[in-house]
A and B are shown apart, each in its own frame.
Chain A
Amino acid sequence: MSEGLHHHGGGGKMKKVIMGNHALSYGGMLGRAQVIAAYPITPQTQVVELLSEMCADKVLDAKFIKVESEHSAMAACIGASLAGARTYTATSAQGLTLMHELLHWASGGRLPVVMGNINRAMAPGWSIWSDQNDSLSQRDTGWIQFYCASNQEVLDTVIQAFKVSEKLLIPSMVILDAFTLSHTYEVVDIPEQDKVDEYLPPFNPPIRLTTDEPRAFGGITFPEHYYELRYKLQKDMEKVPALIEETGKEYEKMFGRYLGDVDAHRCDDADLILITSGTMGYTARVGVDELRKEGIKAGNLRIKVFRPFPFETVLKIVKGAQKVAVVDRNISYGHHGIFYQEVKSALYGESDGLPLFGFIAGLGGRDITPSDFKDIAHYVLGKDKPEERIVWIGVKK
């Protein structure tokens, strides 16, 4: 692991073969995080281990608080952010959900904490494998949510997340699949530190906790005052898509890569569009390419920014299609897959005639293969409209 530390930032472009977790660490390092408070949980441990080494080697000038739980991790990040420091952390599943109360705190407190989350299935039983319920069950907490499918994307997204979050004072989470991304080694172009510094200036909030101007933050707020605070949070959340585009273009200019809110593969002339997220989005590409060989005009729309939900982008892309199939690696019990619900709400009133099929797959890390996507496509093509509310892929019946 330590051999990676000999080349850090500055001078000369560098490509390294690193795992997804380390892409998160590099993101925090290049983003010049100032306070990191984190607690280990499989499969996030490598993120914090590398960050600890970077701090110890003084490659990253940050205070690393080795907290005793994820709840304390987020509490410490919030305290540090309130002081005006750039804060960063990472967690997964049980750890993320343990922080739940404080996720609301960070967003309501307008504190731009950035956090990496490894999507891992919720216990019981214990699972360390990929599933999106942990992060999606936080979708109402007022955090920006990015879903990544490559280690390069992870690194680039963390850097942009700092910029977007600090501009609008809304926290972000950068999400990647357990093992299929967190532990997968890929080639990553590591930007130079001085260029990142140019892109991302130091955190300079308009208000911070200081004895120069003593204020009480977060006190009792009666109904006559609370409402407007939350109105303002939503209004600022609505500015996020435009800011992601703007900062994305800036990033592209400087580093040659554009992130955007979705990754559309062969959707322009597609009759059938598969909507996916995370690493299965890349698997779906393979499926789409194979379907195309069969003569089926399939396309894959991988959603990268989930909160705020990219209503307009999704609508624009699916409007031309004849059928849409959403594949969820999660489920909201008593309802449906969560991406399905959100896409459906985006289509309502806009594309009411468009048949929308919902599939659940891969819970608890069960593998999703290109062949699964082909099966989904054939199933959908065989039906005029959905017959079942939910179709479960691969359940052993």
Chain B
Amino acid sequence: MKNKKTAKKVILKSEKEWPLMPMSLGSMLYNKTGAWRNIRPILDLKDCIQCGICWKFCPDVAIYIEDEWPVIDYDYCKGCGLCAEECPKDCITMVEEEK
């Protein structure tokens, strides 16, 4: 997977920089969809059985696995609540996003 930290928005200035036909030149990783959230998931690993369900069902690939444990990437999480709903051990709670 592309490096999330270095992904930059592609800015085109002169027509000479345009490709001939519309084709992608960069990745949507620059787009931090975390800004869409109204509610955010809080993960408490106390009861986590490492079943992988939260990782599996995230439509935004915003839960990744680090050292065998799930981690939520708040840069991209849109707050859909699927992880909280599907977790068999209720490890995830949705709380109001503080802005």
Contacts and interface: CB of A to CB of B under 8 A. Distances in A.
B21 interface: yes
A232 B16 CA distance: 9
B93 to A, nearest CB: 36
B38 to A, nearest CB: 26
Interface in A194-212: 207
> Chain B interface secondary structure, helix, strand, loop or mixed?
loop
A110 interface: yes
A236 B23 CA distance: 18
A216 B19 CA distance: 12
B19 A207 contact: yes
Interface residues of B, number: 10
A225 B18 contact: yes
B24 interface: yes
A109 B24 CA distance: 13
Interface residues of A, number: 19
A225 B23 contact: no
28 contacts: A108-B21, A110-B20, A110-B21, A169-B20, A207-B20, A207-B23, A215-B23, A215-B24, A215-B25, A216-B23, A216-B24, A217-B23, A218-B21, A218-B22, A218-B23, A219-B22, A225-B18, A225-B22, A226-B22, A228-B12, A228-B15, A229-B20, A229-B21, A229-B22, A231-B15, A232-B15, A232-B20, A236-B20
Interface of A: 108-111, 169, 207, 215-219, 221, 225-226, 228-229, 231-232, 236
Given A221-B22, A229-B21, 17 more contacts: A169-B20, A207-B20, A207-B21, A215-B23, A215-B25, A217-B22, A217-B23, A218-B22, A225-B12, A225-B22, A228-B12, A228-B18, A229-B18, A229-B20, A232-B15, A232-B18, A236-B20
